[in-house]
Homo-oligomer: A and B are copies of this chain.
Amino acid sequence: MQTRTRQQTDPASDDRPGTRERIVRAASTLMQRQGYDGTGIKQIAQEAGATLGSVYHFFPGGKQELAVAAVHRGDEEFTDILGETLAGEGTLAEVLGALTRSLADGLRESGWTDGCPVTATSLGTAARFPDIQRAAAEAFTRWQGLVSERLIASGTAEETARELAVTVISTLEGAELAAQVCQDERPLLLAGRHLAELIALHER
């Protein structure tokens, strides 16, 4: 899901992150917007304020290795957000409402361009690049696991929780997609409400 806070990429500013870090960020952001094939390595280098030589120095595997790093980065970012959100106060319904609200805000503020970096980077590449597919699958599985743990902790039966968690991630992902495609935040907000209802149905 979309998680990135728009950041400074001023190539002239001091004490900025290291070159490798800037390259990964640029790759993740650009592939989130334009997908794997729509993003060029030269564009990544330029956005990162690095040269082509530096990109291949840190990522000798080329574009494919860069995409795997970008997916891992997207995974980590949303894992952090999801973890913090789920650990926050409030009922699960409130937590889901805050999460979808936040995703909707970020998506709208980006002009509906910045959706889920994992999805955008991996979709259409799975058949050609198994490494990218694997990284994306790991992300989805990790997110499902986080939701599942929270459901179990709040009293849902284990098997039920694992199943519900899969649908929670599917629905969040699909709602962000629908919001992006329709350029309308309602799918995300409705997903938050309906998921809360679905979960309440299974709580004891």
Contacts and interface: CB of A to CB of B under 8 A. Distances in A.
Interface in A138-182: 140-141, 163-164, 166-167, 169-175, 177-178, 180-182
A113 B122 CA distance: 11
A52 interface: no
A170 B177 contact: yes
Sorting the interface of chain A by its residue count into under 10, 10 to 19, 20 to 34 or 35 or more gives: 35 or more
B166 A178 contact: yes
Tallying the copies of this chain within the complex gives: 2
B140 A112 contact: no
Contacts of A37: 34-38
A112 B126 contact: yes
A126 to B, nearest CB: 7
A124 interface: yes
Nearest to A181: B136
Interface string A113-130: 101001110111111100
Interface of A: 33-38, 111-113, 115, 118-120, 122-128, 133, 136-137, 140-141, 163-164, 166-167, 169-175, 177-178, 180-183, 186-187, 190-191, 193-194, 197-198, 201
